[in-house]
Amino acid sequence: MNRATWIGGVAAATLAGTGTAGAQTTVDLTVGQNAPSSAGWPMLAAQELGFFKRYGVNVVTVTLSSTAAAAQQAIVGAVDLGVVSSSQLIEAVAGGAPLKLYCNQLATAPYALVAQKSIKKYADLKGKTIVVGGVNDATRIFAELMIASGGLKPTDYDEVYAGATSDRYAALKSGSVAAAIILPPIEFKALDEGYTLLGTLPSALPVFPYTGFVGRDDLATKRPDALLAFAKGYLRGVRWLNDPANETQAIGILSASTNASIEEGRRTYAEVVTKSKCFNNDGRLDPKSLQVVLDTLTHLNVLKPPYPALESLVDNHFVAAADAQLGRS
């Protein structure tokens, strides 16, 4: 029996057992991720509204310092799934790590580069220090590409590292860095405080699949029930978030989790959900779309051949089964 047929059987069996919340067995699943931000909005909604519990999974979240840390924890099995960037997934697998992406998170990354009030353009960063997520973090790639559009090379400025958007914003506030790459809603908080918006990633790199839920490649055979239940709960959260009828409640969930104001949440919904459409309803990631990530890593001399086969990096079977089951519910 091939994996698709087998997972389809799991989906059918699970569907038969989910007529009522009390008729199913709850399984545990641990997810390692950064501190709460707009990137994790569907997860926040799924937890708050009980979608994971509805489909029989108790999702325990572990806050980690970076997506690189999430990849490391997933490799050793300390977490079942880690929220990992596409660039780190490719690098890890190229280095021999047994990882796969099981569910897409951010189809595109709504990052912005925000600078001190005295800095008005990318060229003003020459000789200054910026803060990014890490030496091998995707935010470093993003920041360098954005600044390059202003004519600067990475040797023209210094970089320091802080894994979460909240930490990079704190560095900006302290005055220890000239610019920080951050996500909404903190982006809007900084802009309201008078900091300068130098540019956004979608303007420099419109298509770049960013993060997903990554686990060991043997997770599919060891914990198929947990993966399927997670996929259903998460995709239900995505679809709920993407429904404009839920905007007000969604903003409240984000604001409560990130200490953002309602106005910052409103602007974040407009940017992340309505305009950029960062979360796709089916959770699939086309392996071919990772070619732009591989090309970028090669261009920046982060990765050299031999490259992993892109098809080996992604397992869409569980989100496909979840999508089909949610359609029948």
The number of distinct structural domains making up the chain is: 2
User: Is there a domain that residue 184 lies in?
Assistant: yes
Are 103 and 123 in the same domain?
Answer: no
Check the CA dihedral 189-128-209-30 and report its sign: negative
Structure tokens at 32: 């390692």
Domain membership of residue 154 (yes or no) is yes
Assess whether 160 and 14 both reside in one domain: no
Q: State whether 173 and 61 are in the same domain.
A: no
Cβ–Cβ under 8 Å, residues 159 and 133? no
Report how far residue 71's alpha carbon sits from residue 236's, in angstroms, rounded to the nearest whole number. 25
Residue 272 lies in a domain: no
Report yes or no on 266 lying in a domain: no
- pLDDT (tens place) for every residue of the chain, 329 residues total: 445 444 444 444 443 334 344 456 899 999 999 989 999 999 999 999 999 999 999 999 999 988 889 999 999 999 999 999 999 999 999 999 999 999 999 988 899 999 999 999 999 999 999 999 988 788 998 999 899 999 999 999 999 999 789 999 999 999 999 999 999 999 999 999 999 999 999 888 877 899 999 999 999 999 999 999 999 999 999 999 999 999 999 999 999 999 999 999 999 999 999 998 999 999 999 999 999 999 988 887 888 999 999 999 999 999 999 999 998 65
Residues 73 and 160 in one domain: no
> Which element (helix H / strand E) includes 106?
strand 99-106
**pLDDT the model gives residue 13:** 40
CA distances 298 to 90, 116, 274, Å, are 11, 31, 32
* Final residue of a structural domain among 157, 185, 204: 204
The DSSP bridge partners found for residue 98 are none
Q: Which of 157, 176, 204 is the last residue of a domain?
A: 204
Q: CA 169, CA 225: separation in Å to the nearest integer?
A: 39
What does the alpha-carbon distance between residue 34 and residue 110 come to, in Å, rounded to a whole number? 16
Q: What's the CATH code of the domain at 223? A: 3.40.190.10
Which DSSP letter does residue 157 get?
A: S
Judgement on whether residues 225 and 317 belong to the same structural domain of the protein: yes
In a domain, 269, yes or no: no
Sheet (strand 211-216) strand order: 57-63, 27-33, 81-85, 211-216, 99-106
Are 28 and 237 spatial neighbours (Cβ–Cβ below 8 Å)? no
Q: Which of 164, 183, 204 is the last residue of a domain?
A: 204
What is the structure's pLDDT at 1? 41
φ, ψ (nearest 5 deg) of residue 282: -100, -5
Q: Pairing relation of β-strands 81-85 and 27-33?
A: parallel
pLDDT in tens, 8-61: 444 444 433 343 444 568 999 999 999 899 999 999 999 999 999 999 999 999
Q: Same domain for 74 and 215?
A: yes
DSSP per-residue letters across 57-82: EEEEEEE-S-HHHHHHHHHTTSSSEE
Sequence-distant (≥ 6) Cβ neighbours of residue 101 within 8 angstroms: 84, 86, 89, 212, 213, 214, 285, 313, 314, 315
Residues 47 and 127 in one domain: no
140 inside domain: yes
Same domain, 149 and 286: no
Q: What is the DSSP string of 214-269?
A: EEETTHHHH-HHHHHHHHHHHHHHHHHHH-GGGHHHHHHHHHHHHT--HHHHHHHI
Per DSSP, helices labelled H in the chain are 3-16, 41-48, 51-54, 67-75, 86-94, 138-148, 165-174, 186-192, 201-204, 219-222, 224-242, 247-258, 262-268, 291-299, 317-328
Residue-level pLDDT at 164: 87
Do 293 and 244 fall within a single domain?
yes
Cα separation, 174 vs 305, in Å, equals: 41
Report if residue 17 sits inside a domain: yes
Is residue 142 included in any domain, yes or no?
A: yes
Please check whether residues 153 and 251 belong to one and the same domain: no
Q: Are both 226 and 88 inside the same structural domain? A: yes
Q: Is the peptide bond before 110 cis (omega within 30 degrees of 0)?
A: no
* Whether residue 221 sits in one domain with residue 298: yes
What domain range includes position 315? 3-108+209-259+278-328
pTM: 0.86
The Cα 163–Cα 291 span in angstroms is: 25
